[in-house]
Every structure is written in structure tokens, then in C-alpha cells.
Structure 1
Amino acid sequence: MASPILWQWQVIAPDGQYHRGVLLAASHKQASARLAEQGHHILALRRHPRPGRQYRHIRHRITFLRQLATLLQAGVSLDEGLSLLGNQHPLPAWQALLAGLRAGINQGQTFSVALAATGLFPPLVLALITTGELTGQLERCCQQLAQQQAQQHSLQQQVVKALRYPLFVLAVALLVSAAMVGLVLPQFAAIYQTFNAPLPALTRGVLGLADIASQWGLTALLLCGLLATGVPFARRRYPVLLRVEQHLLLRLPLVSALIIDQRMTMIFTTLALTQHVGVSLLDGLTAAGSALPAPLWRECITRLQAQISAGETLSRAMEESPLFPALAVQMVATGEASGALDTMLAHLAEEFSQQAYARATALSATLEPVMMIVMGGIIGTLVVAMYLPLFQLGEILH
């Protein structure tokens, strides 16, 4: 589904009154058609100058679900709750989105169908909202979804935080090294050319690197830019590259365990939540697969579904996959045997979540000193190479 665009409109309503507002639509034609369907005479329709492109961020969904659950628990109707949330939301895009939800519901759509039409909510949210509508527990499902989405976002932030500082240190080291090689070393090279003596091997090597950088530096930067723009495009165009990337990441010593724990957390949190509210296991797996970012893991979920449809138990299907740890297989088998699968899935989600947090912290603690050593080694080598001939200057003059 195309990403919706925020439009500003001014109309004359069928009762002759002037109105203005915002709406989300994929195109100008679609926006015009929606206004015309309501009998409005369009005076102006243009793109919003400040659409707030971050409106698709998960934190806005979390806030919306949590606030809607609170209003529903307080006895506020769904239509009134959407109106209250839309009127007070700071982002025009969300004001339009919530107004669109209200319009869909007033036209006879169910809440889950109206949510699906926005293209903003993942299948897990849609599945649980549908279940909440069928069971009359919409507020409970919204609250549990808010908790699940918040936990998922928190785990992602923890992983990003663990990698942010080491990568920043590495970037600083590379920038300082590039500045020394491109700006400082040429000045020292001009001085060293006046010496009537051979330079140390380390200095000659670094000066040779500076010459290469001066000749090919711009080309290297252009290639890096092309790679930075081309690799994401290639990953989207050719899913096989994503599979290769995932296989390579699963072979890295520190990163593989963190990736597995993070994926297990997403899978078991989704399954525990869907089982708790009465969604079937196959539908729960569909929701879990849609939440996974890499085709390698989605294909794994698809194989689980096929095996379960053929009569296998979940634990047996997981046992045949190399991606699931033995602990997960054993605990799921115990839950199936005891009839408490939803409880065991919740325990697994909590266990892998704690492991992921611990591994992210350990990864950060491991990478930080390594990056400092790398930065110190690079810069130290350049400094020694630059000043080593000066230390020998006395011997050269004698």
C-alpha cells in the first residue's frame, strides 16, 4: 500500500457552511473523491506544508493504543474516544488519521477494518483488535497491544544504544585519521624531502598511504556513497541479499546470539499475546511472521505453519528448525503437555527479552574498549610515523 499523503482542504458543506480540515489519502484524486462522496463542494485541496513525516513512528501507535484503552475502560464510546484523541493530538497527520477512523466507523465499518485501511498498523494489531471486537474485550486488547509494542520498541532502542557509542568512536577515529592523512601528512612530506637520508619504513608506508589517499580519496568517497545508496535499494529489490546477510550475521560470535534472542522475543511475545486473547495458533504465527524484518525468519515461520497444518505439534515443528534454541523447544513441549501453552509462551518471551537486554549491554561493554584500542592504534601509528624522522634528525645532522 502506498504511503498516504496529508492534504489540507477547504469546502462548502451540503448545508452551505464553510469547513476546513486535513485528511490522509494516497493521491489528490483519492482525496477529492472522498470529499465529493460526502457532498462537499471543494474550494481548495493541497498538500499540507508540515505533514510531520514521523507520524508513522511506533511511539505514536503505542500512545494511541494506551490512551484509547484508558478511555474505553472509563466507559467512553469508541467514536467519542477517537474524537477526543484526534482533537488533542499535536500532529496534523494523526488528527486526519483519527478523523478517518471515525468516518469509517460511522459508515458501518468495524474498527479493525478501518485500522487496516490506514496501512499504518501491523497485522498483530489488526488480529487482536478483531478478537477484541468479537469477544467484547476491546479495551483489554488495546492495553495488551500497547504493552507489547512498548516492549518491542524498548528492546530495539536498547540494541541501538548498545551499538551507537562504539560506532561513533569508530567514525571519529576514521575522520581524524582521514584529516591527518589528507591535511597534516603532506606538510610533513614537504619537510622530509629536504632530508638527505632515507626515511624509516613506517614513515614511508604512511606517506605512501597519503599519496594513495590524495589520488583516490575522492573516488573512494564516491564509491562509498554509491554503496550507501545502492545497497538498501538492492536489498529491497533482491530478497536473496537479505537472506545472505542474515546467514552471515548468524555466524558472527557476539551478534548472532543477540539477533536470535531479539527474534525469539518478538515471536514468543506475539504468540503469547494472541494465545491469551483466543487467536488460533496459525493466525498467531501469521502475525508473528509479519512482524519479523528478514525473509529468513519469515520463511521459518511459514514452515512452522505448514508443519502444524500437516498435524505436527508446535514443539516438534520448532525442533526441526535450526533457528530455535533447545530451551524454547523444551518449554513449548512442556506447555503443550500441561495444557498451559500460553503461560509457557509468556515465560519464554520474558526469558529471551531479559537475555537480549543482557547481551546488548554485554556487546556494548565489549565493543567500547575494542573501539578505543582501534582508535588509539590508528592515531598513534600516524603520530609516530610523522614524528619518527624528527627523532632521528640529530643523527642525520651529525
Structure 2
Amino acid sequence: MGFFKYQASDDDGQIRSGKIEADNARSARSQLREQDLWVLEIEEIRTKSGQTGFFSRRRWNAARLSYLTRQLAGLLAAGLTLSRALAAMIQQETLPEIRAVLTRVRNEVESGSSLSDALYSEPEAFPSVYCAVIAAGESAGDLSGVALRLADFLEARHALQLKIITALAYPAIVCIVALLVVGGLLIYVVPQVVSVFEHTKTQLPLLTRLMIGISNLLRENWWLILLVAVSGFWGISQLWCQPAFRVRADQRILGMPVIGSTWLAIDTARAASTLAMLVTAGVPLLQALDTVRKTLSNKALQVDMAQVGDDVREGVRLSRALARSERFPPLLVQLIDNGEATGKLAEMLEHAARTQQSEVERRLMLLTSLLEPIMVLTMGLFVLLIVLAVMMPIIEINQLIH
């Protein structure tokens, strides 16, 4: 996904220019044609590092963006011009990377560009949803108010991300410790203990022989196992980059119990909060839906959201379009339907976002409450098998002696 700068002609023959986010130039042209624009010139915007795509610099996290946005909103509300506000932010900033980006943004603003256009030229720092909201604030003449709401939105998103990370951190640590413990027992403990029985004429139990075989495999062919693991990881990562495979894989994951429902809850919460932010800021619904689609992490949901956008473009109500996909939660659809019926879509979207975030927290608690005992029991089972593999020969020899 990248940004493209374009010049196009509308039906009245007027020349329009701007920036658009798309997978490639062909996709960008298709999006512009859907807006009844005839492309005259289109060019990909490269990051300042000269790289695009996977190897470009990572975007700033939500906490950093929220801090800068709230700072900008406060300076604008105090009566400073945009240029002076950016200059004050540059002067106060201590990180060289942020200072450099803010300096480039200020230079573009002083050269006549709008703030949103300047932000679009820094895709490694500012996501498309951020730029779209700023553009809507500029159009409405309420940049400081929109920036303040955007900061609140970013803080809420960052808080949700922290909850997800915190919920999954303990199971991940337990899994790593389990692998280290089992690996250490198989590689170091089992060979030393079992070597005592090498000179006995009794046949070792099947479980002991199995553990010895696994131990020898790990010690003697560790390089081959590592090579297979790295090759497998590389192969899966290449398949994961294929859109068709990714969509099928994500569909399967969504169908999994607990894990699939948790992922669906996370993405729908992200979609609801983002759509609420965009609609409240005054972004047109079709543009907002396209922006929301790009924020979803599940490719199958991205396909569904693209179809929702197509249905809305044809005149279908948003709630009806979401219901057609049969994947989005019924409560979310009902709230949006109520918002459309009462003319309070933005308010209902915000309520839906809060509801979905509560659902995410509930799903995460359920997931962790299941994962933790499963991992502990699994580790205990492996340790028990290893202990039995060591103790069984000792018990047999003790019986022979007596």
C-alpha cells in the first residue's frame, strides 16, 4: 500500500489534484475513475528515505501521534497560526526523527500546501485515516477541534492496543518458558540420566527409548531442524503476502472458536471507532468506508468492507450493506440502523465503538482464561512424560534387584 499524487479532470473539465492511497498505480486509477475523474498524471510518492512498502520506516505509534496532535490542537486553540504552531512544536521536540518530519511538514505548509497534503507526503509517520480527518477539519474550518477529537481517538486506540498486548503477554511468556524447560530437559537432563542404563542388558521401556530418540535428534540435527524452521517460516511469510491465500487463511481463522471471535471483535471495534471518528469529522461516508477498510487487519473483513462500500455507493443503506455480509455483529448493525433512522449516525457509531471495545475486553479475558491453563497443563504433561521416561528404567531395575 502506497500513496500516489495525481492530476485529473472532472466531468466539467476542471483540473483537480491530490493524493490517494492504493496498492499500485492501476488501483489508484480505478479508484479515481469511480469518483468520475479522468487521470491526466499519476506518480507514486516515495518516503523520505527513498523506500516504499515493506522496507519503509515504521509509522509512529498511536501514543506519539496522540501527544503531537493534542499539542497542535492546544496551540491552535490558543490563537497561533498553523505555521507558528508547527514551529513551536519543532522547537520543543527533542527526538531528531520527529523534528525532521515536522520541519518538512512546516516547510510544505509555508510553501502553500494544506496541512493534510503535507501529512500525506509523510506516509511513514501519518496513516491515511489521520490525514483524512485533518483534511475534513480543514474543510470545516475547525482544525483545532477536530485535532482534539483525533487525539482522544488515538489515545483510546492506544489503550485498546495495550490491553491486547497485556492480555497476550502472559500466555506468550508461559509458552516460551515451556519450550525452554522441555528443550533443556531433553537436550541436557535426559542424556545424562539415561547414560547410566547404557551398560545394563535390560531393554529400556518404549517411552524412554522414544525420549532418547527425540533427545538425540535435537542434539545431533539441531542445525537441520533450525534450517527447516527458517525455511518453513520464510515459505509461510511468502504465502502470507499473496492476497488470495491471505483471504482464505483469514477466513479460516475467523471460523475458529474463541480465537476467531476475538479477532473479529478487535477488528470490528477498530472499524466502528474509526468510522465514528471520520463521520464526526465530516468525512464523506464512501471515503470513510474506504479508509476504514484499510485499517482492518483481517483481509477477509477487508473484502467484506469493500463490498459494503460498493453497496453504499449503489444506494444501499450502511446498516443493510453490513447485514448482507453476515460477518459483522448484529448489535453493531442494529445500532447503525438506529442511527440512520434517527439521523444520529455519528452518535450511534460512537456508542457502537464503545460497545465493541467492551466486547473485545470480554473476549480477551475469555481467551486468556482458556490459554493460561491449557499452556500450563501442556507443559506439565511434557515434563511428566520426561520424568516417567527417566523413572521407568529405575523402577524396573529396582524390581529386578529385589
TM range (shorter): 0.7 to 0.9
**Match of residue 357, structure 1, among 358, 361, 367:** 361
The two structures have a TM-score, normalised by structure 1, of 0.83
Q: How far, CA to CA, are the matches of 1:356 and 1:248 in structure 2?
A: 20
Partner of 2:255: 251
Partner of 2:288: 284
Alignment of 1:103-114 (within 5 A): 103-114=107-118
Is the CA contact (8 Å cut-off) linking 1:55 and 1:93 kept in structure 2?
A: no
Partner of 1:132: 137
Residues 1:74 and 2:78 aligned together? yes
Q: How far, CA to CA, are the matches of 1:165 and 1:330 in structure 2?
A: 36
- Inter-CA distance 86–227: structure 2 relative to 1 (3 Å threshold): farther
Residues 1:154 and 2:159 aligned together? yes
What is the number of residues matched between the two proteins? 352
Is the CA contact (8 Å cut-off) linking 2:62 and 2:157 kept in structure 1?
A: no
Q: CA deviation at 1:218?
A: 2.3
Partner of 2:302: 298
Which amino acid is the alignment partner of residue 257 of structure 1? S
Is the CA contact (8 Å cut-off) linking 1:69 and 1:142 kept in structure 2?
A: yes
Q: CA deviation at 1:368?
A: 1.2
Partner of 2:183: 178
Q: CA deviation at 1:348?
A: 0.6
Partner of 1:94: 98
RMSD: 2.0
Which amino acid is the alignment partner of residue 183 of structure 2? A
Is the CA contact (8 Å cut-off) linking 1:169 and 1:372 kept in structure 2?
A: yes
Which amino acid is the alignment partner of residue 114 of structure 2? T
Partner of 1:310: 314
Alignment of 1:183-198 (within 5 A): 183-198=188-203
Range moving further from structure 2, 357-366 or 311-320: 357-366
Which amino acid is the alignment partner of residue 374 of structure 2? V
Is the CA contact (8 Å cut-off) linking 2:275 and 2:292 kept in structure 1?
A: yes
Partner of 1:239: 243
Identity of aligned residues (%): 28
Gaps of 5+ in 1: 3-23, 29-52
Q: How far, CA to CA, are the matches of 2:380 and 2:354 in structure 1?
A: 39
Partner of 1:167: 172
Partner of 1:26: 49
Is the CA contact (8 Å cut-off) linking 2:140 and 2:282 kept in structure 1?
A: no
- Could you list the per-position Cα deviations for residues 334-373 of structure 1 after superposition, in whole angstroms to 9, with x for gaps in the alignment? 2211221111111111100111012112212221121111
Gaps of 5+ in 2: 4-46, 52-56
Q: CA deviation at 1:65?
A: 0.8
Q: CA deviation at 1:55?
A: 6.7
Q: How far, CA to CA, are the matches of 2:166 and 2:233 in structure 1?
A: 22
- Could you list the per-position Cα deviations for residues 317-349 of structure 1 after superposition, in whole angstroms to 9, with x for gaps in the alignment? 111102112212222222211221111111111
Is the CA contact (8 Å cut-off) linking 1:289 and 1:301 kept in structure 2?
A: yes
